[in-house]
Structure 1
Amino acid sequence: MTESEERRDVFKLSRDWLSVQEVVDTVSGSSCGAISMFIGTTREDELGGRKVIGLDYEAYELMAQSEFSKLCDDIRERWPTVTHVCVHHRLGWVKVGEASVAMAISSPHRHDGQQAIRHCIERLKASLPIWKKEVYDTQEESWKENAECPWALQNKVPPVTSSRENV
């Protein structure tokens, strides 16, 4: 990293479409020879005869920002060459095929960035207070826990299911 280039950590929660180019531009820099990306999209899935038509995301925004800062510190401790980190996550309704999360990490060489991006999505799903509700073609909906969450690993929180009146 050049002396004129300071590290950037950018976290954005938005109800708007995610711009992959904006995420890439945020982590670009003169000392960055590699940009590693992850884009998570809402997928059509069938569960118990019901088809997922979209996800509805909510977040505790102030806490999410704080946890993101901790995540960036952890990434830089593990991979000191990481230059910039950017994560944009959707809130609200995200239909099948649309991006729910777009993240990029830059580094001088690809190896650290590739490892860091995998760590970033796994830790984001485990520790940031962002929740998703699956919405089905039957108008039912169900809050889903990420497999990476500590309580999911302990199998202590049962899924909550309700009916959805308006899609």
Structure 2
Amino acid sequence: MPPVIVDASSPSGLDTVVAAVERGARGVVSCVSGIPADGQARLRALAARVPVIVVANASVGSHLQLAVARLLAWSPLLDGYDAAWSVVDRHPATKRDAPSATAVRLADAVRSGHTDVTIRSDRHGEPVADHTLVLEFGSESLRIAHSVRSLDNSARQVARLALLIADLPAGHYCVNDVYERFAAKLSG
């Protein structure tokens, strides 16, 4: 039995993950999109026994984009402006869920600054994905875009997360929290 389970299957694969933890797996890196609420509850229950890292997007660029979104959402420079926020989420037509987990996280980061945000999900074009945060205020607009054309970097990061899980106590972790906690180890 492998010491860490990396699940990039589908929500229906959760039974296999739970069984692996029951047989002694020491951690879970869950890269599954569209897990329903009952599945999320099962992952949280597993997190009482082993570390569980939930990976909405393993891309470092996505993590940096999220950090910029949080910074912008709370910027006092926008006080007095009627700011309009949106997230454009583009994936190929084969992407099952819309909006993507990445788009939802970006929108939530902006909402943390007590503002509304619109999400537009487009399903067309090439692999893998584009996410654009758009801020319009006054007569200006700002676009923070991130594009991914290959999952190579994300796969490398997931492998690193699987190695780092040994440094975590049992618990439920968002990938961005782990990135912040282990930035120096992940950059090497």
TM-score normalized by structure 1? 0.33
Which one has the bigger strand percentage?
1
RCO higher in 1 or 2 (8 Å CA, sep ≥ 6)? 1
Which one has the bigger helix percentage?
2
